[in-house]
A and B are shown apart, each in its own frame.
Chain A
Amino acid sequence: MQPIIQTNQLTKVYGMGDVQVTALNGVNLQINPGELVAIMGSSGSGKSTLMNILGCLDRPTSGTYALAGQDISNLDKVQLALIRNQRLGFIFQSFNLLSRTSALHNVMLPLVYRRQQKLSPEAREAKAMSVLEAVGLADRAHHVPTELSGGQQQRVAIARALVNDPVLIMADEPTGNLDTTTSHEIMALLHQLHARGRTIVMVTHEPDIAAQAQRVIVLRDGQIESDERR
């Protein structure tokens, strides 16, 4: 089976000249389809840096990264954007929804930038609606984010991450801004996705959240300190 993520000596160095920060230092990682992986580590250990590269928002300084068999280490900005659109779904700590745009249109956004198998506006709306329904927010479709609770906003964000059928869902502290109850709701949703075969990589600071994952990777100073499967 082809791994979803395959990295080889992934390294990221920030800064030029004298002041250099090695945020990632030779990360070798393989994540297979259907895995739910939690990434942990102290602040500054390189979690976000790794997520940015795995999420095709940034390129490594050296090393290689293949996403679902596609080597992306040498792609340009435009190609990275296309990969993000077709292969990835993002869930952020701060939701990152367009604030004056309805939930429905937020969910439709990845469809708008889709190049292959373009959908008509009606089909986009129908698809976005069905995903919103799936996350239990059909009745809130025409509300703007400020009219939604934090948990609801994050569910809109999850719907947005799902709408283009990504091979990988990236979640950087998806419950970081939520209270315990809501956190559990969101985690339940992620578990459901996982149960349906989605591959999910998530960063978290909370051990009880991480404990829900089958695999926990701990970073330290830009390197993998431990990688445990249960």
Chain B
Amino acid sequence: MEMRFRIFRYDPKVDREPVYRNYLVSAEPEERILDCLNRIRWEQDGTLSYRMSCGHGVCGSDGMRINGRCALACQKLVKDYLGSEVVVEPLPFFKVLKDLVVDVDGFLSGVMYFRPYLISSAAPPPRERSQSPEERKKVEEVIRCILCACCTGSCPVMAENEQYVGPAALVWAYRTIFDSRDDLKLERLEAVNSQKGVWACVNHLECTRACPKEIPVTKCINTLKREIEKHRSGKP
């Protein structure tokens, strides 16, 4: 069948302003939107730029806005858009480098800001550290994050609060805070206890809707808020 695509095109080094260009692609209902973009680039217009790699929702390269929703182009199928035009745009709130390619360096530094690695002062045992399945379960959902930035691109707060690190960075903070092997829980909680951190979130829930890995992002942020309050009231 024929699918109509309207794609955001912009090279800030050359163009005065973005334009939308139209393409007609023949595609099967089970094909991915990414397959359509590839067909456009391979067969019609090699100047189109976007990122992609694994093609099945693991590497996190192809986060973009498809008909108004942030998603991975490799996880959305043609049949989800039958009968409508497909409008493809870069992730909102990110600086466009070219077409659908955005600058993710700031996003990654946001994640890095909360030191997303295990910190433990005790010398490790000769074997593995012990961790019960219940303790491990606390991070089961957040370890699915693939840093695709769909949550951050969807969050309305990003438009209002320039300081906000965004939901993905908090998911990474959550991951270390609730890892029973990490030493720095209190310090880490203090780090997210700010307007830059958890208190910027006002429960729009857009991140949770967008997350291609079905991480309950908003719930995680609220859990962090509760954990901060618990410690504040002295009843951890």
Asked if A and B are interacting partners, one says no
Please list the residues of chain A having a beta carbon within 8 angstroms of any beta carbon in chain B: none
